[in-house]
Amino acid sequence: MTDIADLSAVDLAAAIRAKTVSPVEAVEAALARIEQKAELNAFMAVCAERARAEAKDAEAKVMRGESLGALHGIPFSVKDLTNTEGVATTQGSALFADNIPKADAVGVARARAAGAILIGKTTTPEFGHKPFTEGPFFGRTLNPHNHAHTCGGSSGGAAVAVAAGMGQLALGTDGGGSIRIPAACCGVVGLKATLGAIPNLQAPDLFGANSFVGPMARDVADTALMFETLLGPDRRDPYGQIPAFPERRLGESEKPQVGFLLRCGNILDPDVESAVVAAMRQAEALGWGVEPIELDLVSLEPHFLVFLRSLLLARLGGHAERAPEKLDPTLLATIDAGRGYSAADLCQAQFTRTDCFTKVQEILAHHDIIASPTLSAPALPVDLDPLGPIEIGGRAAGTIRGAWYPYTFPFNLTGHPAVSLPCGTSNIGLPIGLQLVGRWHEDAYLLDVARRLEATYSRP
């Protein structure tokens, strides 16, 4: 019999409704798996007693025949950057070790309103500043496939949790690929939705927002199930003003037109190239149109860094001066790098962001989807400097952001929905991710395409 912890969210939801599995059993299975896999270090905090109490209430509702939400009784985790009422939200930092929010973030509130049960808070590098999930406050989170390689970041704990069966669903955040990078490293699915589709009111600059909240799960169907509960407008979010409306869906006989971006100015690992090319052959076998496209994304790295470093300097510069001993040295280095930028540099970065948006819009005027690798190489070794240069395929590739994940951060700047899903493994068994990007507010169509493509290959 399949362990309850290994059931998909879709199957678990059906089993709870059929009364063949109770929410209490689902929560106990998740808690047991967290204990069994404690060495992975995926959680900042586990809400065991609270989750058990909520599971009993959820079971009582099932037995009384009450109307149930789409996620009723399903255990889920929340990345430690996102506010959770009554549960510490530390930002992965000793600075906020005692921070207990008084209210749930919008995404958390919507998941709980749909019946999901918070199982705990997952690990993140301090303030999500780097693509490796490690830090002086909690240690290192391990990749369940290979402990010598990173689980990615900054939603590393979330990816590890769902990959290892520690809750069917996870809520991550993505400020430059932070959902999609660990999804690719850990062999799971992660969605960065259209800007504003899932309101994120914690961003300090809502108008210049490039940080997203989004679902992570073991397959596309589960990711879509969670996305549907998180989707919806909120008048407090300037990009979340559009009322809910029927989204475009992929018709049964429809053949999407795919723009295939194999390289974007970067060096590409041979195993990654083989896997994503094979995925595109599968798309062609389905009758889809696949056409190579060109788009230089690597050149956006210095402009993206202006946004990242300036934001961290503005938010944390005072903390860095008063208590540097409490911060990760890589975070301090990132903050210090922001001190050299001018207002003109920030404006120029905005101009470049606009130019990238225009180019992507032009591509999507002729293609339904953009497909690319999620990362230029599989999960990197854990002992690398996450801010330093890297090698890919034995060649010097440049600094880690422009070299390893040039495919992800540009779509934070443009606001387009993007999903990473597994599409194969490397020659040493590391998962490889395929990224699909869609038009604004065509998240459902994007997930439909991903689900159909997912069905054509084996999972890692």
**Domain chopping of the chain, boundaries:** 7-230, 258-302+336-454
Helix (H) or strand (E) holding 435, with range, is strand 431-437
What pLDDT was estimated at residue 246? 67
Nearest 5°: the CA angle 193, 103, 417 is 5
CA distance 149 to 448: 31
Percent of the chain residues past pLDDT 70, beyond the cut: 98
3 state SS for 137-187: CCEECECCCCCCEECCCCCHHHHHHHHCCCCCEEEEEECCCCCHHHHHHHC
**Under CATH, what is the fold of the domain 7-230?**
Amidase signature (AS) enzymes (3.90.1300)
Check if 102 is active-site.
no
Question: What is the three-class DSSP state of 142?
Answer: strand
What pLDDT was estimated at residue 245? 65
Percent of the chain residues past pLDDT 90, beyond the cut: 97
The mean pLDDT value for 94-98 works out to: 96
Q: What is the largest CA-CA distance in the chain?
A: 63
What pLDDT was estimated at residue 417? 98
The mean pLDDT value for 210-231 works out to: 98
Superfamily of domain 258-302+336-454: Amidase signature (AS) domain (3.90.1300.10)
Check if 154 is active-site.
yes
The mean pLDDT value for 86-96 works out to: 97
What one-character-per-residue DSSP string does 331-371 give? HHHHHHHGGG--HHHHHHHHHHHHHHHHHHHHHHTT-SEEE
Catalytic residue among 8, 37, 77, 79: 79
Question: What is the three-class DSSP state of 321?
Answer: helix
Check if 178 is active-site.
yes
Does 323 have pLDDT greater than 90? yes
Length of the chain, please?
460
The mean pLDDT value for 7-22 works out to: 98
Catalytic residue among 8, 77, 155, 178: 178
Residue 145 falls in which region: left (phi positive, over 0), alpha (psi -120 to 50) or beta:
alpha
Confidence class for position 365, pLDDT limits 50, 70, 90: very high
Does 459 have pLDDT greater than 60? no
As a whole number, the mean pLDDT across the chain is 97
The mean pLDDT value for 216-243 works out to: 96
The mean pLDDT value for 16-35 works out to: 98
Q: Which two tokens stand for residue 430?
A: 């590391």
Confidence class for position 2, pLDDT limits 50, 70, 90: low
The contacts of residue 222 (CB under 8 Å, 6+ apart) are: 8, 9, 10, 168, 169, 189
The residue among 444 and 247 whose pLDDT is bigger is 444
Nearest 5°: the CA angle 236, 409, 299 is 130
Contact 46, 118 (CB under 8 A): no
State phi, psi for 311 to the nearest 5 degrees.
-65, -45
Tell which residue, 425, 330, 358, has the closest CA to residue 133: 330
Does 460 have pLDDT greater than 50? no
